[in-house]
Amino acid sequence: MTRRIDDAIGMGRTELAQTEPASAATSWHTAVERAVQQMRENLSDPQYLTDHARAGLFSPFHFHRVFRNVTAATPGRFLAALRIAEAQRLLIRSPLRVTDIAARVGYSSLSTFTTQFARLVGLSPRQFRAMAIEFGDRPLAALAARAPAAPSGHDEVPVLVDGADDGILFVGLFHHGIPQGAPVSCAVRSTPGPVRLRRPRDGEYHVLAVCFDPDVRIAESLDHRHDCRVVAAGSITVPGGRPCHLRLRRPRPTDPPVVLALPLLG
């Protein structure tokens, strides 16, 4: 049986990616990295779980599990994130129509593309392009300066992020391990110290932090070409529990791209 894996994003793992591969899992990592490379090089083609699994000498069932352990995303959702990320770049940097971009990144159905894009990014393709054109040239730092004052007292959730003192830091709370759609709560800041998020209703949330150089413009932060971005991920329980403490690191090839338009949604 041949299985298509081009579906949408939205996994259910605690972290964006495992911190380090276990020593026994080195071959897993190699197989997954090879599969990710294949996905990146063949975005516009139909891709099948069984082909990636066979290339790594795994059964489709086991490959699916291994892939998720390494990347924290399922193969299909990882591929969808890659495709939407490329679509974002084309929407910003090319004059192509949405219809043509959908085909170019591997969607045979425009409706599927539009639906996926809106759910993952938080804006429809046309809205995304319009906002990128309108705000793209503005520096990200301006967003940080415009951000509302941090709440205080019992209505806040503090998040500590190491290594972000000299950058523009976005932090969001999400229901799922991969960020999609509007965050439950989010904040942007450009000064050292903890980030204070508006407290959501009680529950367990996943935290994503993305940091950019202070001189980056909004469009550059959205088109997946800026190589200075760093990420961190974790989880937090509301109420109580320990404060969320994250450490920024460089993105790895096996990290799913962050396609959520946080700078435009904030």
Considering the rule CB under 7 A, would residue 48 count as an interface residue with DNA? Answer: yes
Q: Which of 58, 170, 205, 212 binds DNA (CB under 7 A)?
A: 58
Q: Which of 37, 44, 109, 237 binds DNA (CB under 7 A)?
A: 109
Question: Which CA distances in Å does 12 have to 154, 174, 176, 177?
Answer: 28, 11, 6, 5
**Distance, C-alpha 130 to centroid of its chain:** 21
Considering the rule CB under 7 A, would residue 93 count as an interface residue with DNA? Answer: no
**Pairwise CA distance, residues 100 & 152, whole Å:** 47
Shortest Å, Cβ 167 to DNA: 31
Considering the rule CB under 7 A, would residue 174 count as an interface residue with DNA? Answer: no
Using a 10 angstrom Cβ sphere, with 0-12 exposed, 13-18 middle and 19 or more buried, the burial of residue 215 is exposed
Shortest Å, Cβ 69 to DNA: 9
Minimum CB distance to DNA smaller for 175 or for 226:
175
Considering the rule CB under 7 A, would residue 111 count as an interface residue with DNA? Answer: yes
Burial 14-24 (b: 16+ CB within 10 A, else e): eebbbeebeee
**Pairwise CA distance, residues 75 & 72, whole Å:** 10
Considering the rule CB under 7 A, would residue 12 count as an interface residue with DNA? Answer: yes
Taken in order 223, 226, 227, 228, is the CA torsion positive or negative?
negative
Q: Which of 81, 98, 187, 262 binds DNA (CB under 7 A)?
A: 98
**Pairwise CA distance, residues 208 & 188, whole Å:** 12
Shortest Å, Cβ 166 to DNA: 36
Considering the rule CB under 7 A, would residue 29 count as an interface residue with DNA? Answer: no
Tell me 24's DSSP state: G
Considering the rule CB under 7 A, would residue 49 count as an interface residue with DNA? Answer: yes
Interface positions with DNA (CB under 7 A): 3-12, 22, 24, 27-28, 48-49, 58-59, 61-62, 64, 66, 68, 74-77, 80, 97-99, 107-112, 114-116, 118-119, 124-127
